[in-house]
Copies of this chain bind each other. A is one copy, B any other.
Amino acid sequence: MAETVLLTNIRPLGGPTTNILIEAGRITALDAPIQPGVAVLDGGGRIALPGLVEAHTHLDKSLLGLPWYKNEVGPRLVDKISNEREVRRTLPIDSHQQSARQAALTVSHGATHIRTHVDVDTECGVSGIEGVMQTREALADYVGIDIVAFPQSGLLIRPGTLELMADALRLGAETVGGLDPCAIDRDPKGHLDAIFGLAEQFGRGVDIHLHEPGEMGAFSMELIIERTRALGMGGHVMISHAFCLGMPDPAITEPLIAALAETGIAICTTAPASRPVPAVKRLAAAGVVLCAGSDGIRDTWGPYGNGDMLERAMFVGLRNNLRRHDELDLALATCTTGGAKAIGLAEYGLAAGCWADLVLVPAEAVAEAVAQRPGNRMVLRRGRLVAQGGQALFRVA
Using CB atoms and an 8 Å cutoff, list the residues of chain A in contact with chain B: 67-68, 70-73, 271-275, 298, 301-306, 314-315, 317-321, 323-325, 328, 363-365, 367-368, 370-372
Question: B315, A273: Cβ atoms under 8 Å?
Answer: yes
Question: B73, A324: Cβ atoms under 8 Å?
Answer: yes
Question: A367, B274: Cβ atoms under 8 Å?
Answer: no
Give 16 A-B pairs besides A72-B325, A302-B323 with Cβ atoms closer than 8 angstroms: A67-B364, A68-B363, A68-B365, A71-B324, A71-B367, A72-B324, A73-B324, A271-B273, A272-B318, A273-B318, A301-B323, A303-B328, A304-B314, A304-B318, A304-B371, A306-B372
Given contacts A303-B372, A323-B303, A371-B298, contact A68 B274 (CB under 8 A): no
Per assembly, the copies of the chain total 2
CB distance from A140 to the nearest CB of B (A): 28
Question: B72, A319: Cβ atoms under 8 Å?
Answer: no
Find A367's partner among B68, B314, B364 (CB 8 Å cutoff).
B68
Question: A319, B273: Cβ atoms under 8 Å?
Answer: yes
CB distance from A83 to the nearest CB of B (A): 11
Find A70's partner among B70, B317, B318, B325 (CB 8 Å cutoff).
B325
Question: B304, A368: Cβ atoms under 8 Å?
Answer: no
Question: B68, A368: Cβ atoms under 8 Å?
Answer: yes
Chain B residues within 8 Å of A319, by CB: 273-274
Question: B71, A323: Cβ atoms under 8 Å?
Answer: yes
CB distance from A269 to the nearest CB of B (A): 12
Chain B residues within 8 Å of A320, by CB: 274
Question: B306, A70: Cβ atoms under 8 Å?
Answer: no
- Tell me which of A304, A320, A325 has the highest count of chain B C-beta atoms within 10 A of its own C-beta: A304
- Nearest residue (CB) in B for A370 is B303
17 A–B contacts, CB within 8 A, in A order: A68-B363, A68-B365, A70-B367, A71-B325, A71-B367, A72-B324, A73-B324, A273-B273, A273-B319, A274-B318, A274-B320, A298-B371, A301-B323, A302-B371, A303-B367, A303-B370, A303-B371
CB distance from A16 to the nearest CB of B (A): 15
Please, how many angstroms separate the alpha-carbon atoms of A363 and B70 in the complex? 13
Chain B residues within 8 Å of A67, by CB: 364
CB distance from A72 to the nearest CB of B (A): 6
- Tell me which of A274, A303, A319, A325 has the highest count of chain B C-beta atoms within 10 A of its own C-beta: A303
CB distance from A100 to the nearest CB of B (A): 19
- Tell me which of A67, A71, A273, A365 has the highest count of chain B C-beta atoms within 10 A of its own C-beta: A273
